[in-house]
C-alpha cells in the first residue's frame, strides 16, 4: 500500500519535477565530473531511482552499459523522450527488483537512499549485486542534520503531500549503515553549500 502511494506521488509530480532547473549547476557539474572520473569505459553500471534520466544521460557515455531504473512510469516516460546514448536503457523497477543483469561494476544512487523503505536491506542488496571491488556512488539527503527551519519546511510540505516521506537520517547513521552492509567508504565530500547532502563513494572489498 505504501509503495503504491509513493508511486502515485512521483507519477503525479513527474512533469513538474523534470521541468525544475538544477538549483546549483556548478555543484551538479562537479559531482558529475567526480563520478565520471571513477568509472571505466568497460564498466557495467546500474542506477537506482534515476528519475527523469538527466544524470544517466550525462554519465552513460563514460561506460560500456548503463541501466537506469525507477519505479515511476511517468518519470521514465519523460526520460525515454530525451536524446540518449545507445548504451543507456531505462527500466521500470523498484529498489527490490532493480538488480537483474548483475553483478555490476558500479551502482549509483543519487538522491534516493533517503527515500527507500528499508535502507539496510537496500544497501545489502546493492552490496550483493556488485562485483568485488565495485563501487557504490551515492548522494543522500540527511534531513536530521538540517537546520530546524529547513526540517520544519519539509515537515509541512510532507503533511501537504507535496513532498515524499523521507528517512530522518544523520550523516553518522548513513555512514554506519553503509559500513554495516559490508562497504568501505573511500571518499566523502559535499558539492554545494548544504552540508546535509553528502556525496559518498564506497567500495565492496575484493578478497583477492
Total number of domains in the chain: 1
Handedness of CA 144, 147, 151, 96 (dihedral sign): negative
Q: Please give the residue range of the domain that contains residue 76.
A: 2-203
Q: Which of 19, 62, 98 is nearest to 109 (CA)?
A: 98
Handedness of CA 24, 179, 137, 33 (dihedral sign): positive
pLDDT tens across 114-130, in order?
888 899 999 999 999 99
Q: What pTM does this model have?
A: 0.90
pLDDT tens across 1-54, in order?
345 777 888 898 889 889 988 989 999 999 999 999 999 999 999 999 999 999
Q: What angle is formed at CA 95 by the lines to CA 80 and CA 183, rounded to 5 degrees?
A: 120
How distant is the alpha carbon of residue 121 from its chain centre? 15
Q: Is residue 85 part of a domain?
A: yes
Contact 190, 30 (CB under 8 A): no
pLDDT at residue 58, rounded to an integer: 98
pLDDT tens across 158-199, in order?
544 555 566 678 999 999 999 999 999 999 999 998 888 999
Rg (CA), the chain: 16
Q: Is residue 208 part of a domain?
A: no
Q: Is residue 16 part of a domain?
A: yes
- 3 state SS of 65: strand
Res. 153: pLDDT tops 50: no
**Mean pLDDT for the stretch of residues 132-151:** 81
| Position with higher pLDDT, 117 vs 155 | 117
Q: Is residue 197 part of a domain?
A: yes
Question: Which CATH number belongs to the domain containing residue 198 in this structure?
Answer: 3.40.50.150
Amino acid at each position: 500500500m505504501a509503495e503504491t502511494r509513493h508511486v502515485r506521488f512521483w507519477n503525479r509530480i513527474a512533469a513538474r519535477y523534470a521541468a525544475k532547473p538544477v538549483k546549483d549547476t556548478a555543484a551538479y557539474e562537479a559531482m558529475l565530473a567526480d563520478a565520471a572520473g571513477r568509472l571505466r569505459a568497460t564498466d557495467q553500471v546500474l542506477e537506482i531511482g534515476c528519475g527523469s534520466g538527466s544524470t544517466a544521460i550525462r554519465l552513460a557515455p563514460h561506460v560500456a552499459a548503463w541501466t537506469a531504473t525507477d519505479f515511476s512510469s511517468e518519470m521514465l516516460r519523460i526520460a525515454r523522450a530525451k536524446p540518449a546514448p545507445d548504451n543507456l536503457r531505462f527500466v521500470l523497477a523498484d529498489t527490490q527488483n532493480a538488480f537483474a543483469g548483475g553483478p555490476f561494476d558500479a551502482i549509483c544512487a543519487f538522491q534516493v537512499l533517503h527515500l527507500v523503505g528499508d535502507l539496510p536491506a537496500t544497501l545489502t542488496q546493492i552490496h550483493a549485486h556488485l562485483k568485488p571491488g565495485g563501487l557504490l556512488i551515492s548522494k543522500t539527503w540527511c534531513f536530521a542534520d538540517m537546520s530546524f527551519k529547513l526540517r520544519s519546511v519539509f515537515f509541512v510540505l510532507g503533511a501537504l503531500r507535496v513532498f515524499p516521506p523521507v528517512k530522518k537520517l544523520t550523516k553518522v547513521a548513513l555512514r554506519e549503515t553503509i559500513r554495516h552492509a559490508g562497504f568501505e567508504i573511500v571518499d566523502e565530500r559535499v558539492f554545494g553549500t548544504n552540508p546535509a547532502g553528502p556525496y559518498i563513494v564506497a567500495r565492496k572489498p575484493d578478497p583477492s
